[in-house]
Structure 1
Amino acid sequence: MHVRVVLADDHELVRTGIGALLGAIDGVEVVAEAEDGGALLKLVEGLLPDVVISDLSMPGVDGYAAIAEIHARHPHVKIIALSMHDTAEAVKRAVHSGACGYLRKDAQPFELAHAIRSVVTKGNYFSPAIAQALLAPAEPSAEEELTGRQVEILRLLARGLASKQIAYQLGLSSKTVDVHRARIMARLGVNNLSALTRYALRKGLIAA
């Protein structure tokens, strides 16, 4: 079995480590590496690998969007999502995007090899813990809990922008932004920016 892999992660140290582990697996060849989703899409288009291993949190085109695009264009390419998070929402979102496997970044080397062989021969790979996350009841999405404008403002707040900056960017008054912020906090039952940021991370509104 010869498996050609394209690896994507925005952290060079992570790519180097995982690339070395992949290179030690008999029959596996890392043919290219990408540091963001846009580069990943171009590499897959040109190389048509057997397997893509992609981080979910990347700048620009994030892993979810890249996975969805690859799956739509090349459904035969097996995609393994890579993340430090294994919440039910993250796993389900990755699978819905087109991933047929899911690995935590701190997975043991033997699991990486097993995942690649499983997606190639069986079509999917999910560890018992990840499979349990897939079966867990789904949490409501941010879009179900908040209005579109509130989601937009929450995303910017979680990125560290002040009310004046958000107001300027969205063409609103600072007072309007503050009102939305208060309503968001009341709706979610939180009372500080740290809690809002954790919520945004959990819901995938910002990258980790």
Structure 2
Amino acid sequence: MKTNGSGPVRVVLADDHDLVRSGIKALLGMIDGVEVIAEARDGQELIRLVDSLKPDIVMTDISMPHMDGIAAIAEIRMRQPQVRMLVLSMYDTVDFVKRAVASGACGYLMKDAPPFELEQSIRSVMATGTYFSPVIAQRLLQPSEPSASDELTDRQLEILKLIAQGKASKEIAFDLGLSPKTVDVHRARIMERLKLNDIASLTRYAVRKGLVKP
């Protein structure tokens, strides 16, 4: 597939779900001229592998432990600018797409895309330098929503993540070294700022913004 005929396109794949990663690897393995040379479970491991192996393409999820995909993309762009980076994600909001592109991603496709789109994305990125699936291209035409950090303080984001993980005020207070009453005050202010009235709505907001996994 490489235009210079120097061998297969070498891909490093990153996703924290082993089953998902194995499935994507199997699909990539069916594409002529593509070789998955390494796999990572988080952004830190991905950076180490890219530094060591210098692949042609990184294909990464966004939501991963320790360091997320967007932070890893920004770091790789700085350290290995020749590597082309594709996001393969379940998040399709314009905010996520634009953040990924601003960090250095040259392509973005959804995890529920048809299998042929994997090959299409790799061929397009190698040939033209970019690939955005039709769904994502449409999203890019939409105005950006405010990010969670635009709407909430760092402390409120911290508390919201724990609320969305199902933790009660006492647990959150213990984790953050606060009193339960202080946590309750923060929660009330979060609801007021976001104009949301219950925990279920807060959880949906946190998932939509990528603060927690569904």
Which bracket does the TM-score occupy, shorter chain normalised? over 0.9
Deviation per CA, 1:111-139: give whole Å up to 9, x if none: 11110011111111012221121121011
Between Structure 1 and Structure 2, how many residues are aligned?
A: 208
- Superposition map of 1:41-190 within 5 A: 41-190=47-196
Structure 1, unaligned runs of 5 or more: none
CA contact (8 A) 1:5 1:52 kept: yes
Letter in 1 for 2:194: L
Separation in 1 of the partners of 2:156 and 2:90?
27
- The two structures, once aligned, show a CA RMSD in angstroms of 1.4
Separation in 2 of the partners of 1:35 and 1:78?
19
Percent of residue pairs identical: 66
Letter in 2 for 1:91: V
CA contact (8 A) 2:91 2:210 kept: no
Separation in 2 of the partners of 1:127 and 1:133?
10
CA contact (8 A) 1:19 1:30 kept: yes
Residue in 1 that maps onto 2:9: 3
Separation in 1 of the partners of 2:84 and 2:206?
29
Residue in 1 that maps onto 2:5: none
Letter in 2 for 1:73: R
Separation in 2 of the partners of 1:35 and 1:145?
30
Secondary structure, aligned partner of 2:86:
strand
**TM-score if structure 2 supplies the norm length?**
0.92
Structure 2, unaligned runs of 5 or more: 3-7
Separation in 1 of the partners of 2:176 and 2:17?
31
CA contact (8 A) 1:58 1:207 kept: no
Letter in 1 for 2:102: H
Secondary structure, aligned partner of 2:105:
coil
Secondary structure, aligned partner of 2:197:
coil
